Amino acid sequence: MRDVWITDWTPSIRWPHYTRANAGEVLPTPASPLGQTFSWENGMCQGWRDGYVRVGSFSLDEFSTVRPEATGFFGGYFYINLSNVRMQGVRSPFVTVEQLDLAFFGDHPEIPPYTAHPLDDRPDLVPKIEAHFGWITSAITFPEADDEKAASIAFRAGRPDLTTRTDAELVARARSTQAPLAKLFETHTVTSSSSGVAPGILFAVGEAIGDPTVPMKLVAGIGDVDSAEPSYRLWELSRQVRVSAELTAAFDAGIAGLLDRLRASSNSDGQSFLEAWASFIFEFGSRGPNEWEMSADSWETDPRVALSALDRIRFQHDHEAPSIRNAAKAAERSGLIAEVRAKAATVGPELAGSLEAALVATNQLALRERTKTNLVRYVNEGRVVFRELARRHSAAGNLHDPRHFMMLLDNELDAFVTDAAAFTDVLAERYAEWLELWDLEPPFFIVDGVVPPISSWPRKRDVSAKRAVAGDVLQGVPGCPGVVRGRARIVADPASAGELEPGDILIAPLTDPSWTPLFMAAGGVVVNVGGQISHAIIVSRELGLPCVVSVEGATKRIPDGAQIEVDGSTGRVTVLSVPG
């Protein structure tokens, strides 16, 4: 195994700390060479840099033009530049490094301490930061994100019949997503970097009034969260299945071949479901596990994941509807706001003013989900183009396997179209080496720019964790308030959740928004990684599901089938009993 992967970056000397926290939710697996170079390096990473500059945290000259240091890729794995993120706390008079660390990265024991650099202090940027902070604490809407949502939907609707296009036309179609990806990620960085403000201020408010549970309670049930919308639609589909004998029988027969069986049936329930399903896929087919990675399947390219979630949701009773859960959280939030306002007023007008600013700033959490959803639509449009190119060149014998197509680099696409056969063996070799990276456990932190040689990384199967026993308490970061007891179900893959039953506690390695439909089939959620503003945590708060994140090694430490208690307000997961 080589010690440096073909697409790896050189660590920054100026910004030397990187982390997999939050990055592990965005790209849990090694990035494919084409996915990394095409959509990230020549699209989203450029926008990430521009977004940082736009909000005032940096000046443009602090970044490289190529591979800007906001992120990094090492051993094929995606990292967020921790040093960059911390500058928002160092240079802003409104939030601290400690607050940002908790919000973005959770309470990880190995997080490197902040060490000041002579160039960190930038008083010239403060006026722009203050202006942006004023926007965060006053903006109720974000028309730019709304316009970009409309544009992304229109781009999807304008997709041509890809099978009739030439190779060159397909590459041009894919390349037409790169500029939007850069611009959309600039917008996403505005909302993403802003989304830590409300939890940070609310943390201070909670400390001042003696209630540390205030932050997560006041960011629950905020409403209008785009990444929660697919869950609501899947719930509606599950109700169709639940009341139909034919659909119930079709699902009971298994997910494999389900849609084909329904298409072969003339039953009206089946046809009605297929129409609703087609509409669902058109609107939300861009979602999926690992949806930022172009080589990964989306719900459109492989509907089994969404169908598997639907198969679990159909067993929930009507009173578990997400709309009911959301209404309960919204009502709880409304009541708590009045209570906290009264307590803050007794402390003083400054704290009361901070509370009001934070309440407005919670809108950034929903806006962040909108800007991410817009991005994912464009990523999927590139994905389906590359799937068509891979299909036809595999059929022509130019690829040993269609999956090898994603081993190309962005700057090799045109040469591939000209002479695909010249790449056949090269891509096969790269694919074999890329698969080796999947077996490795990447360092959670890269400190001081020192990347251990890839050959020294442990294999995932060799990474062990002490199994929990009855009475053990695992501490994580509060995700969504509430206490629930139930049976632990370890789910490593959202497409394989067949034993998850109503009331079970979903124990997952990570949960990006594509996992969240499974939340509706569970009584609570525990996740290995994540911070207080993780995408899936925002959704869990909308669905009113007790949730704890950043429970290190939860999927290995908690025995499948154990009875556990999850306290989403304190972040404590208590093992009550284990299977005998």
pLDDT at 147: 98
pLDDT at 104: 66
pLDDT at 512: 74
Amino acid at the residue 380: N
pLDDT at 228: 85
pLDDT at 289: 84
pLDDT at 131: 96
Per-residue pLDDT of the chain (580 residues), as tens digits, is: 789 999 999 999 999 999 988 788 789 899 999 999 999 999 999 999 999 999 999 999 999 999 999 999 999 999 999 999 899 889 988 878 887 777 666 666 788 999 999 999 999 999 999 999 999 999 999 999 999 999 999 999 999 999 999 999 999 999 999 999 999 999 999 998 888 888 888 888 999 999 888 877 888 778 778 888 998 999 999 999 999 999 999 999 999 999 999 999 989 999 999 999 999 999 999 999 889 999 999 999 999 989 999 999 999 999 989 888 888 888 888 999 999 999 999 999 999 999 999 999 999 988 999 999 999 999 999 999 999 999 999 999 999 999 999 999 999 999 999 999 999 999 999 999 999 999 999 999 999 999 999 999 999 888 778 899 999 999 988 888 889 999 999 998 887 887 899 999 999 987 777 788 888 889 999 998 777 677 767 778 888 889 998 898 899 999 999 999 999 988 999 999 999 7
Give 117-153 as a DSSP string: -TTT--GGGHHHHHHHHHHHTT-S--HHHHHHHHHHH
pLDDT at 106: 60
Q: Do 4 and 454 form a contact (C-beta atoms < 8 A)?
A: yes
List the one residue out of 88, 30, 29 whose CA is nearest residue 58: 88
Tell me how far apart the alpha carbons of residues 454 and 311 are, in angstroms, rounded to a whole number: 40
Q: Do 238 and 250 form a contact (C-beta atoms < 8 A)?
A: no
Angle at the Cα of 300 from the Cα atoms of 295 and 305, rounded to 5 degrees: 85
List the one residue out of 546, 549, 514 whose CA is nearest residue 534: 549
Name the CA dihedral angle for 125, 129, 132, 134, rounded to a multiple of 10 degrees. Answer: -130
Query: What's the chain's length in residues?
Result: 580
Q: What is the DSSP letter of 440?
A: B
Helix-then-strand count for the chain, H and E: 23, 12
Phi, psi of 115 (to 5 degrees): -120, 125
Q: Could you tell me which residues are beta bridge partners of residue 72?
A: 79
Q: Do 308 and 494 form a contact (C-beta atoms < 8 A)?
A: yes
SS3 state of residue 365: helix
- Sheet of strand 77-81, all strands in order from the earlier edge strand to the far edge: 71-74, 77-81, 18-19, 445-446
Chain centroid to Cα 300, Å, comes to 18
Q: Do 100 and 530 form a contact (C-beta atoms < 8 A)?
A: no
SS3 state of residue 93: coil
CB atoms within 10 A of CB 274: 14
Per DSSP bridges, beta strands 483-490 and 505-508 are: parallel
Tell me how far apart the alpha carbons of residues 382 and 309 are, in angstroms, rounded to a whole number: 25
Angle at the Cα of 107 from the Cα atoms of 105 and 108, rounded to 5 degrees: 80
User: How far is the first Cα of the chain from the last one, in angstroms, to the nearest whole number?
Assistant: 42
Phi, psi of 531 (to 5 degrees): -110, -175
Q: Do 525 and 544 form a contact (C-beta atoms < 8 A)?
A: no
Provide CB contacts within 8 A for 40, sequence distance 6+: 31, 71, 73, 78
Tell me how far apart the alpha carbons of residues 355 and 344 are, in angstroms, rounded to a whole number: 8
Q: Which two tokens stand for residue 28?
A: 């849990």
Q: What is the DSSP letter of 35?
A: I
List the one residue out of 465, 464, 567, 550 whose CA is nearest residue 511: 550
Tell me how far apart the alpha carbons of residues 317 and 411 are, in angstroms, rounded to a whole number: 52
pLDDT at 403: 98
Tell me how far apart the alpha carbons of residues 86 and 92 are, in angstroms, rounded to a whole number: 10
Q: Could you tell me which residues are beta bridge partners of residue 18?
A: 81, 446
List the one residue out of 183, 157, 169, 173 whose CA is nearest residue 54: 183
pTM for the structure as a whole: 0.91
Give 4-55 as a DSSP string: S-TTPPPPPSSS--EE-TTHHHH--SPPPHHIIIIIIIIIIHHHHHHHHHHT
